[in-house]
Copies of this chain bind each other. A is one copy, B any other.
């Protein structure tokens, strides 16, 4: 079994309204030192295989096809074997 952790973030050039809202909310709670907030997605996937190379290739395809929007988002993932 392979466990993958995928982080999907908006590209730097894309405005993040959700992040701006969170920043304002944190400021209103008293955290004035916040410079920037960007909100993305975190996806945990368990894949029933032991082939790391195939898993990596499939994960890349999944991100491109479904999980992320490559036009406006960047993605990265890390995999590890679990029992």
Tell me the chain A residues, 29-50 only, with Cβ under 8 Å from chain B.
29, 31, 33-49
For this chain, the copies found in one complex come to 2
Q: How many residues of A contact B (CB 8 A)?
A: 33
Nearest residue (CB) in B for A45 is: B37
Any chain B CB within 8 A of the CB of A11?
no
A35 and B22 contacting across the interface, CB-CB below 8 Å? no
Chain B residues with Cβ below 8 Å from A47 are 33-35
- Chain B's closest residue to A49 (CB) is B33
Measured in the bound complex, the distance between the Cα atoms of B33 and A22 in whole Å is 36
**Per-residue contact bits, chain A 39-78, to B (CB 8 Å; 1 contact, 0 not):** 1111111111100000000100010011100000000000
Once the chains are docked, how many angstroms separate the CA of A35 from the CA of B1?
9
- CB pair B48–A34 under 8 Å, yes or no, is yes
